[in-house]
Each structure stands twice: as C-alpha cells, then as structure tokens.
Amino acid sequence: MNKAITINPATEEEVASYTRISSKEAKEKVANANKAYKSWKKTSFEERSKLMNKLATIFEENKEAYAQLATQEMGKIIEQSRSEIEKCAKICKYYADNIQELLADEVIITEAKKSYVTFQPLGVTLAVMPWNFPFYQVIRFAAPAVMTGNTGVLKHASNVQGCAFALEDAFTKAGFPEGVFTNLNVASDEIKAIIEDKNIIAVTLTGSEPAGRSVAKIAGENLKKTVLELGGSDAYIILEDADLEKATDLSTYGRMQNNGQTCIAAKRFIVLEEIYDDFLKLFTQKMKDAKMGVPTDEDVYYGPMARVDLRDELHEQVEKTVKEGGKLVLGGEIPKRKGAYYPATIIADLKPGMTGFDEELFGPVASVIKAKDENEAIELANNSSFGLGSGVFTKNIKRGEKVALQLEAGNSFVNKLVVSDPRMPFGGIKNSGYGRELSTYGIREFVNTKSIWIH
C-alpha cells in the first residue's frame, strides 16, 4: 500500500490518507539529515536552546489543535491529549534549560596534566515510534537528540501520520534548519533498508517486543547502537496496610489511562489475601463507574482503543484467560456500537501460566491476583518476562521502599503510578528492552563518550 491511512477509532471512518515516500526519497532524506548534522553539531548550546524553547512555545500555542489531532487519530480522550501536548512543551524546556549541565565535561584526576571525559554528537538517529503517545514519544527522543547535536529521522506509526507531519512542521516553524528533524512516511518493510543506510548511526524504538527483536537484529548485524523501550506487564502490589480508597483510585486510573494502552500502565494487581475481597469489590465498582464514550466529550473517563483489530486481539486474550480458569468479574464483551470500543474489564484469581498473567494486555483489562503474603507477592510480581514498571501501595513507607527494591523492573514507585520524568532515567529490563531515555543516563546513550588526555 502506497498510502498511510488514518481511521478515526471512535467512528471507524477514514479521516485522512498520506502518500508514502519511495525508498529513493527516504534515502535522500536520510542523506539530507546527515548533511544537516555536519553543520548542526557545530552550533552552540545557546543557539540550540533558543530554538528548543521556541518549539516549546509552539506546543503551548497550538495545544488544542494538536490535542484534537491526536484524539482523532488514535482515540485518547481529549483531556489526556491536552496533557500530552503540555508534557511535550515541558520536556523541550527541560532540555533547553539543562543541556549544558547534562553534557558537561567530567574531569578525571590522573597523572596527566589534564584529563577529562567529553560527550559529543554522533550523527543521524532513526526513531521508530508507536501510536499511543503520538506527540510525546517522539519529543522524548527528539528533544535530547537534537540538543546533543545529533539529527533525527522519524518512522512513525501509519495511523498517526497527521501527528508525524505536525511534529515536522513544528520543528520548521521553530526555526530548526532543514534536516535536523525529518518525518519519513514509509511502510514498516522499509525500516530494514533505512537502518542499513550508512548515514544512520543509531536506532531508538518504542513499541512491541516483536518489533524490538526485529529492529535489534538488523541493527546488530550492522553494528548500530539501539535503545529499546518495549512492552510491559506492570505489577502493582497492594499490601494489607494499604489505603484502599487511594489504591483503588490509582489502580483504576493506572489501568484506564490512555484507554488502557500504555506500556507502563498498571496491568497486574497483586493483592494480599487479607484484603483481596475488599480490594476487588471496591476496584470493580470504580472500574464499573468509569464512563466510556466519545473521546472528544469532556466528561468521559476513557474512549475507544486505537484500532478495531487491536480491540479484537485483546478480546481474544480475555476469552482465552477465562477458559484457562480466570474469573470474569466485569466487562469482557464487545459493545454493540461503531468504533474500537472495549469496556472496562476485570479478570480475577489469575495464576502464572494464564494468558492474562503472562502476556501484556494492551487495553482496558485488569488482571487481579491473590498472594498469601509479601514474599509471595514479590515472587508473583517478578514472575514475568517483562520488567518495565512496577509499584507497591502501603502506609509504611520504609516497607514500601524495601519491596520496591526487590521488584525486577526499570521503574518501581511507592504509592504512585509509574510516570516518565525528564529528571529520572526511564527504561526496562528483560523483554521490556534495554537502554535508557531521559535524564543524564538517557541523553548519553547516543553520544561519543570521549576520553581526552593531555600529557
């Protein structure tokens, strides 16, 4: 197919189509990005910061238009789309204001007259990005990459090409030179050739585990550095001393945010047996009360999933889990209405080996698991091929920290849902990927960490 087609998931109607560029055009754009890099890397931090702050202003001034576009293309509720655009502005400002500190030379005391480590840009980075946060996921890569002096090319998901072109246009309006940030509207089968292009120095991907494996294999064969942020099946442990009102409020929001389509969403709820029934009753009521509806309506809690085929795949996972012995407590039926809607769903009494325990459920479905004590809860949480986010709810902060330190994940939060923050590193372990984004750790993934020795 030579077009990327956008289908509004709330109506199943086609809203736009975008003609894909040819392989030759893609190669030319990558070459142009490399040409831009050769001059961009010579610019000062001050000059880059000025443009990045201008980009932040563009996000702020166009927040409503960008938010409406994201909601139309992938179905998140409008309030959360607005929040996503606000977060884009904040991350641009963060890197604009902190780049000199983040990439400051590190003096190393040796027998040399002078020795230090400096951090220099490398070249063109390819980003393969998903649809679930169509603006923020891209800015999370692009803002630090561009501020280091690298240039970036984007292969975005086909169903959010409107957002992809809007991002490219925003960089242009901010005054960034041509080629510093480029959208490549190509099909997925073109990714291999792009990675193999001599002008690409590294690849960052946020997406599914299969996509990550495929990109890592191609990049590895071509000795290209990669950072992968893949799926997750985040476990949240609810200890017997937890504030159940707060825990169920956060659990409901954590499972339903972005219509349940978030890598770091709370997905598996591991509850100690003393409070299991009370938690499940309260959680069920709050999930039931969550209003499903048209995502542009201001009063809805969640909208449709991004695509009908994704909704249908999720439903198959739910049905399979129930056949395996899971107890369907709420939802689990495809609504009789247009759109990729799926109701808030809870499957309880899950055990290892069941689909809802072992696999990522990327939609508004919660898996509830009973544990006899704290040790078993930790064991169940770690019994996963994923390791992106995790959390624990307890009134005892020291106990919560002790549990968090034992959870096998790149992020472990106590009494709060996992979020990404530019001041903290973000990423996963196991099949959730490797490498880090954000903070000092993330910005140094795609630089030349260079030793300077003066005798």
Report the distance separating Cα 387 and Cα 383, nearest Å: 10
**Sheet order of strands, 433-434 included:** 181-183, 151-155, 124-128, 200-206, 225-229, 433-434
Report the distance separating Cα 386 and Cα 431, nearest Å: 5
Angle at the Cα of 125 from the Cα atoms of 89 and 260, rounded to 5 degrees = 55
Report the distance separating Cα 420 and Cα 389, nearest Å: 10
- Residue type for 70, please? A
Please state the length of the chain. Answer: 455
- Considering only CA atoms, which of 199, 128, 196, 139 is closest in space to residue 166? 139
Residue 176 CA from chain centroid, whole number:
25
- Considering only CA atoms, which of 188, 189, 118, 181 is closest in space to residue 152? 181
| Residues identified as active-site | 229, 263
Which secondary-structure segment (H or E) carries 189?
Answer: none
E strand map for 358-428: 365-371, 386-387, 389-393, 411-414
In the chain, what is the straight-line distance between the N-terminal and C-terminal CA atoms, in Å?
Answer: 60
Crossing angle (nearest 10°) for helices 244-256 and 276-289: 50
